Chains A and B, each alone.
Chain A
Amino acid sequence: MRYFVGIDIGSTAIKISVADENKNLVGHKISASGSMFYKYAQEALGELLRELGIEEKEVVYTVATGYGRKLFKEADENVSEITANAIGAQQAAKSYGEIKTIINIGGQDSKAISLDAEGNVVNFAMNDRCAAGTGKFLDVVAMNLEIGVDELSDYHFKSVGTPLSISSTCAVFAESEIIGLLGNNHSVEDIVSGVHYSIAKRIVKLVKRIGVKENVYFDGGPALNDGLVSAIENELGHKIFVPEYPQITTSYGAAVLACDAFMCE
């Protein structure tokens, strides 16, 4: 068998996807990137292949993407995360429909990508200036509220009052706002839904800059948070599609690209 590897070296995590000749995802792995991310990337890849029972020589083409892509010398090719994200989204949503807009919330930034009918990137907008509206921000919020990140969604849907919006766009100030709200005995549920809506409003503003076309695809770790998904849907006024493994769309796109590149050779 021949396999194709996509490896996405991001600022907070390394994500690896393995695809078969039919571009199906056969396995994936997420590990922290840390300081020695080149070494970690190699280790993680070795581990993943072992888990899947794939021999190294069966991997015939590797594409790297993400901030650290140029440092992964073993790759046959590298590609920007925007392109990889677009390809991955198209493929992951194949049974759902044609994707025209992608929302990606990463650990440190958020992006909106707009695609044409062929799946080419025609426009994109990015916010990497502040943490409010990123995965990192949700971590900070959960920590302040003393709940797990994976609990945020439950709290969101339990909110019965008016969502309490967080006005600061800076994560540091937002933190003190949250502490203030807690101090005044506001419910954690309303704070959580307020945070989600604040993020959703900001991301929808970003998407509107490039124009919202359906279908809309949402990926990145925070897409696992169903409360945030619902908040974005409400702000957008449209349904959005979330793939089964939203964290790895970009590496999956790189694997799909590896497959295409190999087949063309």
Chain B
Amino acid sequence: MHTEHTIETPHQRQNRHKAMEAISVINALKEDFKFPIQSMGYFYDLFETVYCRHEPLHEGKVKIGTMCIQIPSEIIYALDGVPIRLCNGFYTDDEIGSDLLPQKSCPLVKATVGWFASDNFSDKPDITFSPTTCDQKTKAGAIIESFGHTVIDVGFPRTKESEESHHYWRESVKSFAVKLSKFQGKKLTRSNLESAIKKIGYAQSLYHKLTEFRKNKAVPILGVDMFLVTNAFFFDKIDEWIGAVEKLVAELEQRASAGVNVAGKASPRIVYTGSPPIFPNYKIPLIIEQSDAVIVADETCSSNRMFNDMVAVDEWNLYDMIDSVSDKYLKACTCPIFTQNDDRIRRIIQLVRSYSGDGVIYQAFAGCQVYEMEQRSVLAAMEREGIPILYIESDYSPSQHGQLTTRVEAFVESLKNRKRMKK
């Protein structure tokens, strides 16, 4: 009566688990909110192609894995590589990585390690560059190397202000460029770097256009959709990404002039900060926007921090360009791994002011020391400024959903009350 079934291989099972995680988030984005945006369809399809159907996007191309945003994509594109950012948001991979790392590790790092441990990629990086940013990322590089993958460390300083740091980082980037150019068998030239800088600069300018619309009283795009768009930049074909975002900008322009508002009448406007939400770990952003609030801006390295600051070139000669690229990745970075991080606090306050934020939600991954530690100074600063803030610790597991929802809802309601009292 019972037929023999072919049983999935571990890779097939992992792929199915990831597909199931992915589809439920994609469906939530597509179906749970009012006034869907047509040009978001490109991004929903993209994530379905990559994470549900596991189809490669870059066949025949050399893929350069990056462990963090600090590896300059300008240089990778100039040398004909495709940057693939390996920060991973899948619980499936986090569980695999859990067997290899201490229990209280960052889920993002566990997921990246788990991804390599299972060696199951649709677009596997040929080589990976790992900046020595936070401790866990730094050590993860060595673990991934032990699986037989080529990982090259790129020294990254942990103080931002000093001259020595600037110098050290500029040298690091140069040495990265030399290694990559050898690996690719291609020379970095004035013209290929210039056009890569310009292309990324253009992509950034599109992002800035998108964020401008979020300053409006009627918000034409949800924060979760914005996270998806910026996340796509981790791995998408850059020209297609640019084309899709151009369409999105055009559609938002129409929506803005028609006054379309994806939020409710009383929805508090949230500035999101902390450990990066990476697809499909949109747990907290989804809870926020399903609780009648709207994310109008963020300070995270999976989104705003990736696009915010432009490379500022004075002289378009090769060495000046490399230095300018380096500076963008250090001076402008607001990652909490630095000793002092007043820049991050300033950035958050500035975002609250310019996007008329009603409150800040600060999410730290349980196991991320630096974000957990910076909580104190950020909370104190927000208190000084009179900006309400909610601090949440969470991981990738689907289990705490109910509790988190209750906390977020309570915060959102308190913001609504505050708004009413002011009037």
**Which A residues contact B (CB, under 8 angstroms)?**
161-165, 167, 180-181, 184, 186, 194, 197, 226, 229-230, 233-235, 237-239, 242, 244
Closest B residue to A226 using CB positions:
B2
Indicate if B423 sits at the interface (CB-CB under 8 A): no
Closest A residue to B23 using CB positions:
A162
In the complex, are the beta carbons of A237 and B23 less than 8 A apart? Answer: no
In the complex, are the beta carbons of A197 and B31 less than 8 A apart? Answer: no
Residues of B within 8 A of A234 (CB): 5, 7-8, 12-13, 16
Q: List 6 A-B contacts (CB under 8 A).
A: A161-B23, A164-B20, A164-B23, A184-B31, A197-B16, A242-B2
- How many whole Å from B21's CB to the nearest CB in chain A? 8
Give the contacts of B1-22 with A (CB-CB under 8 A): 1-5, 7-8, 10, 12-13, 16, 19-22
In the complex, are the beta carbons of A194 and B20 less than 8 A apart? Answer: yes
In the complex, are the beta carbons of A167 and B24 less than 8 A apart? Answer: yes
In the complex, are the beta carbons of A197 and B20 less than 8 A apart? Answer: yes
**With A234-B7, A237-B13 given, is the CB distance from A163 to B20 under 8 Å?**
yes
In the complex, are the beta carbons of B20 and A237 less than 8 A apart? Answer: no
Closest B residue to A180 using CB positions:
B31
Indicate if B376 sits at the interface (CB-CB under 8 A): no
Residues of A within 8 A of B22 (CB): 162
Give the contacts of B376-423 with A (CB-CB under 8 A): 398, 401
In the complex, are the beta carbons of A229 and B20 less than 8 A apart? Answer: no
Indicate if B38 sits at the interface (CB-CB under 8 A): no
- How many whole Å from B48's CB to the nearest CB in chain A? 8
Residues of B within 8 A of A235 (CB): 13
Residues of A within 8 A of B23 (CB): 161-162, 164
Residue with the highest number of chain A CB atoms closer than 10 Å, among B10, B12, B31: B31
Give the contacting residue for B24; candidates A165, A226, A237, A244; CB below 8 A: A165
Residues of A within 8 A of B5 (CB): 226, 229-230, 233-234, 239
Indicate if B27 sits at the interface (CB-CB under 8 A): yes
* Total cross-chain contacts (CB, 8 A): 53
Q: Give Cα A234 to B9, complex, Å.
A: 8
Indicate if B52 sits at the interface (CB-CB under 8 A): yes
Residue with the highest number of chain B CB atoms closer than 10 Å, among A165, A229, A242, A244: A165
In the complex, are the beta carbons of B16 and A237 less than 8 A apart? Answer: no
In the complex, are the beta carbons of A229 and B13 less than 8 A apart? Answer: no
Residues of A within 8 A of B398 (CB): 167
Residues of B within 8 A of A167 (CB): 24, 398, 401
Q: Give Cα A230 to B20, complex, Å.
A: 17
Give the contacting residue for B10; candidates A229, A237, A244; CB below 8 A: A237
- How many whole Å from A197's CB to the nearest CB in chain B? 7
Residues of A within 8 A of B8 (CB): 234, 237
Closest A residue to B30 using CB positions:
A184
Residues of B within 8 A of A233 (CB): 5, 7
**With A167-B24, A244-B1 given, is the CB distance from A237 to B401 under 8 Å?**
no
In the complex, are the beta carbons of B2 and A162 less than 8 A apart? Answer: no
Q: Give Cα A235 to B13, complex, Å.
A: 7
Q: Give Cα A164 to B12, complex, Å.
A: 16
Residues of B within 8 A of A242 (CB): 2
Given contacts A162-B23, A242-B2, 8 further A-B contacts (CB under 8 A): A162-B52, A164-B20, A167-B398, A186-B27, A197-B20, A234-B5, A234-B16, A238-B7
- How many whole Å from B83's CB to the nearest CB in chain A? 27
Give the contacts of B353-397 with A (CB-CB under 8 A): none
In the complex, are the beta carbons of B10 and A162 less than 8 A apart? Answer: no
Q: Give Cα A186 to B281, complex, Å.
A: 22
Residue with the highest number of chain B CB atoms closer than 10 Å, among A162, A181, A184, A233: A162
Residues of A within 8 A of B16 (CB): 162-163, 197, 234
- How many whole Å from A9's CB to the nearest CB in chain B? 26
In the complex, are the beta carbons of B7 and A237 less than 8 A apart? Answer: yes
In the complex, are the beta carbons of B27 and A164 less than 8 A apart? Answer: yes
- How many whole Å from A118's CB to the nearest CB in chain B? 27
Residue with the highest number of chain A CB atoms closer than 10 Å, among B2, B10, B12: B2
Closest B residue to A181 using CB positions:
B27
- How many whole Å from A166's CB to the nearest CB in chain B? 9
Residue with the highest number of chain A CB atoms closer than 10 Å, among B8, B10, B22: B8
Residues of A within 8 A of B4 (CB): 239
Residues of A within 8 A of B52 (CB): 162
Closest 8 CB pairs of A and B: A162-B23, A162-B19, A230-B5, A234-B8, A165-B20, A184-B31, A162-B52, A242-B2
Give the contacts of B319-345 with A (CB-CB under 8 A): none
Residues of A within 8 A of B27 (CB): 164, 181, 184, 186
Closest B residue to A184 using CB positions:
B31
Q: Give Cα A181 to B30, complex, Å.
A: 12
Q: Give Cα A11 to B3, complex, Å.
A: 30
Q: Give Cα A72 to B31, complex, Å.
A: 53
In the complex, are the beta carbons of A164 and B24 less than 8 A apart? Answer: yes
Q: Give Cα A234 to B12, complex, Å.
A: 9
Q: Give Cα A25 to B348, complex, Å.
A: 73
Q: Give Cα A162 to B20, complex, Å.
A: 6
Residues of B within 8 A of A180 (CB): 31
Q: Give Cα A212 to B20, complex, Å.
A: 24
Residues of B within 8 A of A230 (CB): 5
- How many whole Å from A39's CB to the nearest CB in chain B? 33
Q: Give Cα A197 to B398, complex, Å.
A: 15
- How many whole Å from B284's CB to the nearest CB in chain A? 15
- How many whole Å from A253's CB to the nearest CB in chain B? 20
